[in-house]
Amino acid sequence: MIKPTTALRKICALKKRIWCLQGSQGAAKTYSACIIIINHLAQEKNKECYIVSSELSKMRDTVLKDCINIIDTLGLTCKMTGVDFGSPKIVFPTGSFIRFIGLDKDDVGKGLRSDLVYVNEANKINFESYRELTSRAKKIIMDYNPNVEFWAHKEVIPREDCDFLKLTFLDNEYLSKEEISEILRYKYKGYNEDGTIKSEYWANKWRVYGLGEVGGIEGSIFTNWKEINQLPEDARLLGHGLDFGYTNDPTAVTSIYKYNDSIILDEEIYSTGLLNSDIVRLCKQRNVGTSLYIYADAAEPKSIAEIKRAQIRIIAAKKGADSINFGIQLMQEQDIIVTSRSNNIIKELQSYVWATDKTGERLNKPLDTNNHAIDGIRYAFMELFGKKKGVYYIG
């Protein structure tokens, strides 16, 4: 017999096409969603359900395991294939089925037609994959731990056909005392008795895994920024930062403004496959580099020369052996504001983290990913603010 939790009751009360389940550790959001799905498919004929996650191997140990447990508890007779190897599938006596899709293994076509798509740990897949999987689904369920704000908060939750529900471990009456104790440790290690933060790391753990609230990525390099809806009219342009890309990495150009005591970042270009002629064309369309300088990667002297020849004001930023950390330091010293249209800059700031060794200890260098716009911004900061320290870089 399955014991209903508060989480299950809350989810069952949702009515709209999309159910967005944000929750803490131990909130029973995944188990509850599986109960609802299995109960539905056991009663309805010929329904098609797809459960999707970023990794098939992990899903075998989590969602698939939960589904098998629920089916056994309910005493259902189902045909199961691919449980240990291959593509898992559960077929019910009603002719309805669940197919489990790991995006690391399956080549999923666009516009997958289905009665129900359940996206598990939605924050670990990109929005385009979500859109392709769900665009033709009659019903959508998604869940996640809110480690950081991601595409669901802007693209899904605001929709009129979306029910948003935040769950915590307190919604799961049957969570073990041991797990509850571990979750509460996040709070004790993160906060002093007067409510002030003792450890930002553990305080963030408590916000995400205890309260089910949106946190920040562990090891985030930049926490000194916020969004603004649009660029203020009295913001003063200081210059632009450019990082070159082509096939796999985007070319990123950012305009940098001074506004009161803050610096505003505004995304101008963020695209792959751009030739130098394309960069020139786009810069002229946006009046980038027509009055103030673009500061670009010195490792691309030929590209800089070609763009400069096209009457764009561009120069190479001076770099040294430790220029990355120096540029990061300059960015951390500023109060940064990002325009809300700068989607790619926001994503990079959210996910740019310090590298770690095999033991998880933080290294004094960033992970070399999610940094295309950030690199261009660093070049500009070194030229605009590094000189004030009497140096261009630390070498």
* Whole-number pLDDT of residue 320: 66
Confidence (pTM): 0.62
Looking at the fold, whether 245 and 370 belong to one and the same domain comes out as yes
**CATH number reported for the structural domain that contains residue 55 in this entry:** 3.40.50.300
Which of 356-393 are b and which e, b meaning 16 or more Cβ less than 10 Å from the residue's Cβ?
eeeeeeeeeebeeebbbbbbbbbbbbbbbbbeeeeebb
Segment 239-262 mean pLDDT: 95
Looking at the fold, whether 63 and 163 belong to one and the same domain comes out as yes
Does residue 394 belong to any structural domain of this protein? no
Looking at the fold, whether 242 and 103 belong to one and the same domain comes out as no
Looking at the fold, whether 160 and 27 belong to one and the same domain comes out as yes
Domain count, the chain: 3
Nearest to 314 by CA among 251, 247, 246: 251
Residues 6+ away with beta carbon under 8 Å from 63: 30, 34, 51, 53, 100, 120
Looking at the fold, whether 300 and 197 belong to one and the same domain comes out as no
Does residue 220 belong to any structural domain of this protein? no
Token pair belonging to 62: 């989590």
Question: Per mean pLDDT, which of 105-114, 337-346, 355-364 is the most reliable?
Answer: 337-346
- pLDDT range class, residue 361, cuts 50, 70, 90: low
- Residue 389 predicted with pLDDT over 90: no
Looking at the fold, whether 185 and 148 belong to one and the same domain comes out as no
Q: Give residue 327's domain range.
A: 225-389
